Amino acid sequence: MQIHTFILYLVESSLLPAIAYLFYRYLFFKLAYFEWTRFFFWAMAIAGFVLPLLPLPTNENGENTILKSTYLIDFYNTTAFVNAANEKQFSLFVFLESLCFFETLFAVWLLFFLKNGLALGKGLWQVGQLKKKYPKENNKGYTLVKVKGGETAYSFFNTFFLSEAFYELDTVQKGQILKHEKIHADSLHSLDNLFFSLISALFWFNPLVRKLLSAVRENHEFSVDSQLTGGKIQKDYSMLIVHLASQNPIFKSISAFSDGNIRHRILLLTNPESEQLRKKRFLFTLPVVAVLMFVFYFFTAAINSFNKPESKHKKENVIFEAGTYQLISPFFENKKTKQGKVSHRELTYSLKDNSPIFAVGNGQILRIDTTDNWGVPELTIHLKVSKHKVCIYKSLYQAVVKLGDTVPKGKQIGISGDSRLYPSVSFQLIERGVAVNPRAILRAK
């Protein structure tokens, strides 16, 4: 994977976790479906990693089957727009690449990722040191560690860290806290904390993703509060939360009793919304999320298809140098649009400046035509590869062969021009006087 592709992937992958935070804050926050919210966080984060890797579906001609649907998008107009935008994008990419722009971005990202990763590692190391340093006892499958100072009580998986302040509480309060931490341990909330801490470190450049970690921890506390109280108001439990609210955990990947937004925890305990209203709000969000994920997949896949060089089959014949080109308009015939039927009976590519052009097969140079395009000379090379097949290379800057030359497959026959003057090169296959899909010869053995 090239550096610029990796950077684009990072940006795309950070979008769904960021959107997950917005959904939580403005739609899911008062629903009290805490386990569903937890699943939603995981699903959106994993989808953020997976969806940008999925390509757009194409048919045997290399045409995008989604863009091809006239019910979704006017393909003719979209193709024209994409071609124009893509040519500008490709020129901008070449310019930025010459300035080592992407390498600099990667270095900055890596620096802060390592910084955040080291902080995460340090926190894990501190938890391990506490477990080694202080006395511990086993309590029904849970390890209780008595520490000095810090948070009254916090847990990391099945290990509970209890400070001196914990033992100063009365029996009822200690029982509530232990039940609280046991639910955290049994629910594997520490796994969530570690996963989303890593995501926060990975996507440090997205402020909403950083807030997502706090939202995950907050949702944990709401979930545990709800399970402990059974959805009923418990004044003593609420007062205990307030009493311990001023304390902070040593490490963001632990689950602490007094963690989370205290005001919201008390409000949810004392003023829960009606079940009917919560269900309506939750059901309303499901189709919204489904549509959102489809749109995210469509646009990230479309952007990636423009960003990546044209993919080749392992046995595909080469007409351009690897990494120098990308397909901007496929072959299609009699496409129905609002303007009527249109055809594009060739493959059109954008290339880097002065890229070499190769013969697709053994053949003879049949014609070399030169035309004047608003003062810019453009060459068209006709390569006869068999008795009934002629390959035509259009909009070249220079030919490196002469009329009548016999060329072997893979030999350079021309050069593309400066992309500002020669924004694209087209490749056409004529068989028995009719333009056919060139992919047939590109994929020939």
CA angle 32, 34, 36 (to 5 degrees): 115
Helix then strand then coil, in percent of the chain rounded to 5, is 50, 20, 30
- Centroid of chain to Cα 319: 31
Provide the residue ranges of all domains of the chain, joining segments of one domain with +. 3-54+100-294, 325-442
Angle 30-28-254 from CA coordinates, rounded to 5°: 90
Whether the Cβ atoms of residue 304 and residue 41 lie closer than 8 Å to each other: no
User: Residues 328, 82: contact at Cβ < 8 Å?
Assistant: yes
User: What tens-digit pLDDT sequence spans the chain (445 residues)?
Assistant: 578 788 888 998 999 999 989 888 887 766 666 788 888 899 999 999 998 888 766 555 445 555 544 434 443 344 444 444 444 454 455 555 555 777 888 899 999 999 999 999 998 998 899 889 999 898 888 999 998 877 777 889 999 988 888 888 888 778 878 888 898 899 999 999 999 999 999 999 999 998 999 889 888 887 877 777 765 545 555 555 555 554 444 444 455 544 445 555 555 555 555 556 666 666 777 787 788 887 787 777 766 665 554 444 344 567 887 777 888 888 888 887 777 888 999 999 988 889 999 999 999 999 999 998 878 889 999 999 999 999 999 999 999 999 999 999 999 999 998 877 888 899 999 999 999 998 878 866 5
Residue 24: predicted pLDDT: 84
Which residue in this structure is represented by tokens 């955290």?
A: 184
Residues 313, 445: contact at Cβ < 8 Å?
Answer: no
d(CA 436, CA 155): 67
Beta bridge partners of 35: none
Maximum pairwise Cα distance, the chain: 99
How confident is the model at residue 286, as a pLDDT?
75
- The pTM assigned to this predicted structure is 0.61
What was the pLDDT predicted at 105? 87
Fold for 325-442, please state it.
Answer: Glucose Permease (Domain IIA) (2.70.70)
Q: Beta strands of 211-358 (E only): which ranges?
A: 255-256, 325-329, 332-337, 340-344, 347-351, 356-358
User: For residue 55, what are the CA distances in angstroms to 50, 275, 301, 304, 337?
Assistant: 11, 41, 5, 8, 24
Q: Strands 425-431 and 363-373, how do they pair? A: unpaired
Which tokens belong to 181?
């931490």
Q: Find out whether 357 and 412 touch, Cβ atoms under 8 Å.
A: yes
DSSP of 196-233: HHHHHHHTTT-HHHHHHHHHHHHHHHHHHHHHHHTTS-
Is 129 within 8 Å of 156 (Cβ atoms)? no
